[in-house]
Amino acid sequence: MPEKQTFKQTLQMKRNYMGRACKLHFESAPLKIVQASRQYMYDDTGNEYLDCIGNISHVGHCHPHVTRAGQDQLGTLVASTGFLNEKSVEYAKRMIETLPEKLCVCFMVNSGSEANDLAVRLCRSYTGHHDVMVIDHAFHGNVSVIADLSPFKWQKLGMEKKDWVHVVPFPDTYRGKYREDSINPGLLYANEARNIIQSAHEKKRKIAAFLCEPMMVTAGVVEYPPHFLSQTFRAVHEAGGLCIIDEVNTGLGRTGDHFWAFQSQDVVPDILVVGKPLGNGFPMAMVITSKEIADNLSDYTNTFGGNPVACSIGLAVLDVIQNEKLQSSAKSVGKCFKDGLKAIAPNHPMIGDVRGRGMIVGIEIVTDKESRKPAPEAADLLAYKLKENKIIIANEGQDKNVMLITPPLCFTCDNARHVVQAIDSALAEIEKGASEAGLNQSSFGENRMDIPLNILSMPSTSGYSSEESDFDSEHPSKRARYEEVD
């Protein structure tokens, strides 16, 4: 169907009608996406972008098998809350079969946030305790209780830590308290967790749950050092708490070695949460736990959770992962990516680290390899430059300096090589620009206004008409772009 609005109209309507808190990628020059297929997205002028961040579209945008399953079910039965439904129980069975025996009962909900919230409710109800421990810089979702459990979020919003929330130091061996040169940093971080539980107990507080990802994704692609998770789980269990693994970003084969990322970690969670990849974009999520923990909740209604469209789509996604061997592809393409990035890293003073597992790859952009100081402005610039090269990538992490690569799993080694090459060139330009502007590399990241503004004011990729711009122009980078077209 042809688009009815100009780019400018769509942007203006977004600004008029949607909460400003709902941010866009490339805020100063956003994209209007109208179509997507496999690992590609298309904007309103027909440009094709390679999608390196579309982890929601797990098996590829609009995969025909998944699309057909959804379309068929939409025409047959959509809402059947409170009735037996074949698709729903079949999907529950298929999901549970991928997991250790202990995780055998599920609840179907609509988002990772709802799922993490329910997981916490289950822990509180089962243990009779109230407090929850999380890892610093973690992000687990947007509903009230889960926002309180997402230091990534509350630190950003200037919210205060709640007294029932306990925060373990970020177990990052690249920039954290204990680094790769420590002897057994995993145990050192786990000891920190143990001390936190201890000091909570001294204040007469009791831990209901430890909520964590199997590796930290949004916080900057950080894999835990060996023994951290198993030792922390042990401490939590000894304190009478339960352990929740949030696989919203990592589940369904993305990490390559296993179907679930926790399986690389020598632990089995008491509760598993999964969201994003399940529905290839369809809103759905799941909580899977033991019968003992599940039965503790006597009544739970979720209007849309487990609807037959979601479950039909979910089944089709599982089919595709299996039929197209996407888990092993995630492993080999991920290796291709990391190998390529590691090969170019020595030539780039700003690549501090390359890490990740399977199709979750992170690149630390730093002012220089020695100081390891985050360079978020350079990372931002790199994302914009790659966008000019028709590659969509995001800079994430607590310091916004980690390029996060989490594409649909149909991504190929050719795609990976193409992205590595583009990063190689774009970063060389940025490094050259920084050095030509006479900037001391170690102060590069401190103030975006130090960067020549013309780097930010790239030509429009969106082809909207040159009518007078009525967007507000308080942001210099925005002004640069819109002045150029007007």
Q: Which of residues 128-187 bind a second copy (CB under 8 A)?
A: 142-145, 147, 153, 156-157
CB-based contacts of 310, cutoff 8 Å, min separation 6: 108, 278, 279, 282, 283, 284, 304
Closer to a second copy by CB, 96 or 413: give it. Answer: 96
29-37, 190-198, 331-339, 381-389 -> range binding a second copy (CB under 8 A): 29-37
Give the shortest CB-297-to-a second copy separation in angstroms: 4
The pair of structure tokens assigned to 408 is 């649909």
From 4, 46, 449, 468, residue interacting with a second copy (rule: CB under 8 A): 4
From 280, 406, 441, 457, residue interacting with a second copy (rule: CB under 8 A): 280
Closer to a second copy by CB, 313 or 434: give it. Answer: 313
Give the shortest CB-300-to-a second copy separation in angstroms: 4
Residues 453-482 contacting a second copy, CB under 8 A: none
Residues 247-276 contacting a second copy, CB under 8 A: 275-276
For position 223 contacting a second copy by CB under 8 A, the verdict is no
Closer to a second copy by CB, 317 or 366: give it. Answer: 317
Closer to a second copy by CB, 81 or 440: give it. Answer: 81
Give the shortest CB-480-to-a second copy separation in angstroms: 19
For position 447 contacting a second copy by CB under 8 A, the verdict is no
Contact (CB, 8 A) for 486 and 470:
no
Can you tell me the distance from the alpha carbon of 417 to that of 96, in angstroms, rounded to the nearest whole number? 36
DSSP codes, 377-410: HHHHHHHHHHHHTTEE-EEESTTS-EEEE---TT
Residues 66-105 contacting a second copy, CB under 8 A: 67, 70-72, 74-86, 88-90, 92-93, 96, 104-105
From 47, 62, 182, 460, residue interacting with a second copy (rule: CB under 8 A): 62
For position 345 contacting a second copy by CB under 8 A, the verdict is no
Can you tell me the distance from the alpha carbon of 373 to that of 379, in angstroms, rounded to the nearest whole number? 12
Can you tell me the distance from the alpha carbon of 382 to that of 374, in angstroms, rounded to the nearest whole number? 14
Give the shortest CB-22-to-a second copy separation in angstroms: 6
Can you tell me the distance from the alpha carbon of 368 to that of 348, in angstroms, rounded to the nearest whole number? 9
Beta strand 165-168 with 131-135 is: parallel
113-121, 345-353, 397-405, 447-455 -> range binding a second copy (CB under 8 A): 113-121
Closer to a second copy by CB, 115 or 366: give it. Answer: 115
Give the shortest CB-219-to-a second copy separation in angstroms: 14
Give the shortest CB-365-to-a second copy separation in angstroms: 20
CA 424 from chain center: how many Å?
A: 24
- Counted residue by residue, the chain has a size of 486
For position 485 contacting a second copy by CB under 8 A, the verdict is no
Closer to a second copy by CB, 109 or 222: give it. Answer: 109
For position 205 contacting a second copy by CB under 8 A, the verdict is no
Q: Tokens 């919203």 identify what position?
A: 248
For position 232 contacting a second copy by CB under 8 A, the verdict is no
From 176, 225, 253, 283, residue interacting with a second copy (rule: CB under 8 A): 283
Strand 40-43's sheet: what is its strand order?
A: 40-43, 48-51, 391-392
Give how far Cα 11 sits from Cα of 6, 8, 44, 151, 458, Å: 9, 5, 12, 31, 18
Give the shortest CB-110-to-a second copy separation in angstroms: 4
The pair of structure tokens assigned to 435 is 């050095």
For position 343 contacting a second copy by CB under 8 A, the verdict is no
Reference 378, options 450, 275, 294, 483; nearest CA is: 450
Give the shortest CB-197-to-a second copy separation in angstroms: 22
Instruction: Give the distance between the most distant pair of CA atoms in the chain.
Output: 69
For position 117 contacting a second copy by CB under 8 A, the verdict is yes
Q: Tokens 């890490």 identify what position?
A: 355
63-71, 254-262, 264-272, 450-458 -> range binding a second copy (CB under 8 A): 63-71
CB-based contacts of 54, cutoff 8 Å, min separation 6: 36, 39, 41, 61, 392, 406, 407, 408
